[in-house]
Chain A
Amino acid sequence: MRNSSHPITNKQKLSFTFNGKKYFGYKGDTLASALIANNIKLVGRSFKYHRPRGIFSAGSEEPNALVELGDGPYKEPNTKATNVELFDGLKGSSQNFLGSINFDLMAINDFLKNFIGAGFYYKTFMWPRRFWEKLYEPIIRRAAGLGKLSLKADPSHYDKGYLHCDFLIIGSGISGLMSALLLAETGSEVLIVEEDFILGGRLNSERLVINGKQSSIWIGQAVKKLKSLKNVRILNRTTVFAAFDHGIFAAIEKKTDHKLEKSSKPRQINWKIYTKHCILASGAIERSIAFPQNDRPGIMLAGSVRTYANRFGAHYGQKIAIYTNNDDGWKTADDLKNMGLEIKAIIDTRKEIEAPSSSISSYLGQKITKTYGRKGIKAIKLSSGSKLDVDCLAVSGGWSSNIHLTCHKRGKPVWDNIYKNFLSVDNAQKDDIIPVGAARGIFEIQNIISDTNRVILSLIKKIGLSMPNRITITSSKEQYGCSLDLVSSSNPSNSFIDLQNDVTQKDIELSFREGFKSVEHLKRYSTLGMATDQGKTSNILGLASMAKLKGTNISEVGTTIFRPPYVPVAISAFAGRSRGKDFRPTRLTPSHNVASKRNAVFVETGNWLRAQWFPEKGETFWRQSVDREVLQTRNSVGICDVTTLGKIDIQGKDCSEFLNFVYTNAFAKLPINRVRYGLMLREDGVAYDDGTTARLGKNHFIMTTTTANAALVFRSLEFVRQCLLPNLDVHLISTTDSWAQYSVAGPNSRRLLQKIVDKPKDITNENFPFMACRELTICGGFMARLFRISFSGELAYEIAVPTQYGNALFDALLSAGKEFNAIPYGTEALGVMRIEKGHTAGNEINGQTTAQNLGLSRMISKKADSIGNMLSEREGFNRSDIATLSGFKPVQRNQKLEAGSHLISAGKKPTMENDEGWLSSVAFSPTLGHYIALGFIKRGETRIGEKVCAVNLLQNKTTEVEIVSPHFIDPEGVKQRG
């Protein structure tokens, strides 16, 4: 119901639907306050027993009122109605029911409650084991659940943002605003973050007087002043959800969730906040009391009933009872009475107190033993036996400081026996979180004011900033005392501790009986405090219950600690804009445009997009294109973009000594204008990477690495340069993106290049032999580097130009090559030709093979130290029966081979014991007309001609193969030297 004289009724009227029915609320409402004003009690069904549940709280601690918001791809499940800002056209619905919210078929679970307590799943669904995945789990998942996802991609944008400040203030209640006013005066950068859409925090829920006026006047003045200051920034609708090391915090800001129209602007922003100091003014959260049937719709936290009445003018019914173990419950009674509502009774568990208010009928030292009304509370029964008709029950089990964030870095809370509350520990670390106000365990407003002044001023003094004046304000006086009467004395199976996870007092007793007594065990066995609300209103009840069972107190029992996130955060907010194509950057090769125009099919290799093959007219199957590209290259000339290979420019007086150390083989004596193949090991002796390194000058080398290892090799080289050999004069720079590089391969490659290399440079075989390199100019004056190296085994070159000329050079090469029928070829043809030639690549140097496996042990210099040299000598790497690189071809030439097949001697069973090696790279060789493979087999070099079986157990296929030399074509290297 709505109090018609409340100021909210002067605001804009909003219409919304809930479970398909239309209702009205006002601007400034939350979905929860509007539902209360419309007298809707039944809002959801509980997680496990599907019991009817209503709104319980007024903030992000809400355990019950989880709803689905919006529809289609925008639908968001598990939203707390208490946090949702009402807007015109909002669509909300209940979740976790089968049938209808009023008649939930799954409510059968409620009657089975005695059988499905804590640990039920662990004990019951053990047998037969295979039933778990297929039968039990899907049923349980369907029955015990939260909302449903739309299963459509969320079309909204999410952004990431970064903020830097001197002081981060979390919360804008009285202590937050006071802290901000004081700290802003020092000239420091202040950031205030508030979860709510309005500022003022708990003050908005109370009828307090500040400086002789309603507290809202003071909030208005404070906010106005703060907004006028340049060094203050205020973010509302923003929740700090995690605290990290060294003053880093994460916060989620809701930008458009409270609007109907879907804009192109970001829906939420995930902020990363860097601050020198953090003031935690997050207030306190009220807890419940365990008593039989304490979960009926209409049973709410007393402070929340007060919030709805004072801030929103909304309340349930006319006959309200209050059940409390502390003084704060009486405040709710006073406020509601002031609104003209009938307070049926206030039941205080404490016997020895003097009733703070004489005008309300009070029952001291009594407990509630029973409640009535399945879908909305109708009556309560007291321990004295009297029964009272009520339509709303406000419960207060006392207040807990909201110290969630102080636990994120493993701060262990300590128990305060005066206010029955866990406090964060003071810690002298400079980036620590400093709580103020109720978050610091101070609950009476007059004390909050004086304590906040004290804490903030002493902090300012400690840091050494200019001292502001203390803020002098007068306020109402409050009194707060609290008992620990939290545990039910009867009917434990109906006394709920954790409403969201349906944990009852009986479950705590069961955990105790079965030996799960430590708080960490209790949490995991009973699921207490494990739901989306992390037990914000329930943990203390569970601990009190366990303390009673153990015959000790809460400080002995201890507490589990809260973990990030403070509130659930959508995965999309973490992804931000890194979705789909934007997940990571795409690197395009310099020839990309020419390749696209020629309809190249591209493949992702790391971040790179590389041309895989270039289909020509009439080619419908990839092999047609690839076979043609191989044959045409081998018969005439082909051009391939090899820019993606890592290129590292190495200069300095000591670079040949440096290279000798990072490669297994020596480079010091490599003549200028020559290229050498190099092998790198890891320090453990396993092969790491290979490539060619060219010497352009006495103190200038260009190293190439494989595409995949480009960044890693560069990192390793920097490690050697800085951490192992820092006295050498060596400088490194990655030039992978600076030079476009193309392979020009095939018997006509020299003739093609002669057409573009500027005279008088002579690249005849005599003056530019195999493994030569040179800086020269091409096409009338353009700087280029030419290397005579061959991956395909053909007469071949690699030519490099500064990247900006890459696209033009690719075109120029193809035009100049027209008379030779030059073609571009892609990575597939590149792969086929290197397998035909027997060159290794990532499939062979895969982090599990050694120089010995690769047949390169002679490349390890014994004269000088190098990375991996020592450990490559270990016994296991040098046994006579290690697997060595070999070639394989099918005995029946028309048979297909598959990479990954295991090699087994003829006549032996395909078992681990008989495994002798594997096929690493397989291709159809158009040059030879059948499949070929590279692979590793024990003592391969001594078994040429032997027939073994290539076994593929995944497809149950066995193919007879013959062991051959890995060099299928031109083993003597006549072509590449010609």
Chain B
Amino acid sequence: MLIDHPLLGLRDSSEFIYMGDAKLLNRPNWKSKNSNTKFIDYGYLRKNPAGEHKELWYHEQGDRSWLVVTRNTVTHEILKVELARYLKRKANAK
């Protein structure tokens, strides 16, 4: 597999560590209502779709960027690769 790193271009997947569902970016607020249940959901429930999926990949053998990769789990096509920190900052700004 090749991952089109937004800063470094095409890199072989062997340079990366895979962390699964990118929902891990959405850590619940500990003071919100029912935060206990939300944290259990955050910690233990993962989507495993056949089709488009947002996943976390870490470029450990490279520039150490955490990436959000949108990948089709059926065709293995990679549709989008984004820097997790940009996505998260954008979400925080809202």
A869 and B60 alpha carbons, distance in the complex (Å):
27
Chain B residues, Cβ within 8 Å of A683:
39, 42-43
A723 and B2 alpha carbons, distance in the complex (Å):
22
Any chain B CB within 8 A of the CB of A783?
no
Chain B residues, Cβ within 8 Å of A245:
1-2, 76
Chain A residues, Cβ within 8 Å of B27:
724
Task: Decide if the interface of chain B is mainly helix, strand, loop or mixed.
Answer: mixed
Question: Are A724 and B1 neighbours in the complex by a CB distance under 8 Å?
Answer: no
A247 and B17 alpha carbons, distance in the complex (Å):
21
Chain A residues, Cβ within 8 Å of B2:
245-248, 274
Q: Which of A246, A409, A726, A873 is the one whose CB lies under 8 Å from B88?
A: A726
Determine how close the nearest CB of chain A comes to the CB of B63; give it in whole angstroms. 11
> Interface extent on A, as a size class?
20 to 34
A711 and B60 alpha carbons, distance in the complex (Å):
9
How many inter-chain residue pairs (CB < 8 Å) link A and B?
71
A724 and B28 alpha carbons, distance in the complex (Å):
10
Question: Are A723 and B85 neighbours in the complex by a CB distance under 8 Å?
Answer: yes
Question: Are A723 and B39 neighbours in the complex by a CB distance under 8 Å?
Answer: no
A274 and B17 alpha carbons, distance in the complex (Å):
20
Q: Which of B39, B58, B77 is the one whose CB lies under 8 Å from A718?
A: B58
Determine how close the nearest CB of chain B comes to the CB of A871; give it in whole angstroms. 5
Any chain A CB within 8 A of the CB of B84?
yes
Interface residue total, chain B, C-beta cutoff 8 A: 35
Q: Which of B1, B19, B89 is the one whose CB lies under 8 Å from A244?
A: B1
Any chain A CB within 8 A of the CB of B25?
yes
Q: Which of B44, B56, B64 is the one whose CB lies under 8 Å from A723?
A: B56
Question: Are B25 and A248 neighbours in the complex by a CB distance under 8 Å?
Answer: no
A497 and B48 alpha carbons, distance in the complex (Å):
41
Any chain A CB within 8 A of the CB of B79?
no
Determine how close the nearest CB of chain A comes to the CB of B43; give it in whole angstroms. 5
A686-718 residues at the B interface, CB under 8 angstroms: 711, 715, 718
Chain A residues, Cβ within 8 Å of B12:
248, 274
Question: Are A409 and B58 neighbours in the complex by a CB distance under 8 Å?
Answer: no
Question: Are B76 and A719 neighbours in the complex by a CB distance under 8 Å?
Answer: no
Chain B residues, Cβ within 8 Å of A627:
none
Chain A residues, Cβ within 8 Å of B17:
715
Question: Are B85 and A722 neighbours in the complex by a CB distance under 8 Å?
Answer: yes
Q: Output the nearest chain B residue to A867 by Cβ-Cβ distance.
A: B27
Q: Output the nearest chain A residue to B75 by Cβ-Cβ distance.
A: A429
Question: Are A870 and B76 neighbours in the complex by a CB distance under 8 Å?
Answer: no
A238-286 residues at the B interface, CB under 8 angstroms: 244-248, 274
Any chain B CB within 8 A of the CB of A657?
no
B26-85 residues at the A interface, CB under 8 angstroms: 27-28, 30-31, 35-36, 39-40, 42-44, 56, 58, 60, 64-66, 75-78, 83-85
Chain A residues, Cβ within 8 Å of B76:
245-246, 409
Question: Are A718 and B64 neighbours in the complex by a CB distance under 8 Å?
Answer: yes
Question: Are A871 and B43 neighbours in the complex by a CB distance under 8 Å?
Answer: yes
Q: Output the nearest chain B residue to A683 by Cβ-Cβ distance.
A: B43
Q: Output the nearest chain B residue to A869 by Cβ-Cβ distance.
A: B30
Q: Output the nearest chain B residue to A162 by Cβ-Cβ distance.
A: B12
A246 and B19 alpha carbons, distance in the complex (Å):
20
A854-887 residues at the B interface, CB under 8 angstroms: 865, 869-871, 873-874
Q: Which of A246, A718, A870, A873 is the one whose CB lies under 8 Å from B1?
A: A246
Determine how close the nearest CB of chain B comes to the CB of A635; give it in whole angstroms. 45
Chain B residues, Cβ within 8 Å of A727:
89, 92
Chain B residues, Cβ within 8 Å of A874:
36
Chain B residues, Cβ within 8 Å of A871:
39-40, 43
A718-765 residues at the B interface, CB under 8 angstroms: 718-719, 721-724, 726-727
A429 and B17 alpha carbons, distance in the complex (Å):
26
Chain A residues, Cβ within 8 Å of B40:
871
Any chain B CB within 8 A of the CB of A941?
no
Any chain B CB within 8 A of the CB of A389?
no
Q: Output the nearest chain A residue to B3 by Cβ-Cβ distance.
A: A246
Determine how close the nearest CB of chain B comes to the CB of A79; give it in whole angstroms. 31
Any chain B CB within 8 A of the CB of A684?
yes
Chain A residues, Cβ within 8 Å of B92:
726-727
Question: Are B88 and A722 neighbours in the complex by a CB distance under 8 Å?
Answer: yes
Question: Are A684 and B88 neighbours in the complex by a CB distance under 8 Å?
Answer: no
A94 and B1 alpha carbons, distance in the complex (Å):
41
Chain B residues, Cβ within 8 Å of A873:
36
Complex A-B, nearest 9 residue pairs according to Cβ-Cβ distance, in ascending order? A726-B85, A722-B85, A246-B2, A865-B30, A722-B66, A245-B76, A870-B39, A726-B88, A723-B84
Can you sample 8 A-B contacts with CB below 8 Å? A245-B76, A719-B24, A719-B58, A722-B65, A726-B89, A865-B31, A870-B35, A871-B39
Given contacts A683-B39, A726-B89, 4 further A-B contacts (CB under 8 A): A723-B85, A726-B86, A727-B92, A871-B43
B residues bordering A, Cβ < 8 Å?
1-2, 12, 17, 19, 24-25, 27-28, 30-31, 35-36, 39-40, 42-44, 56, 58, 60, 64-66, 75-78, 83-86, 88-89, 92
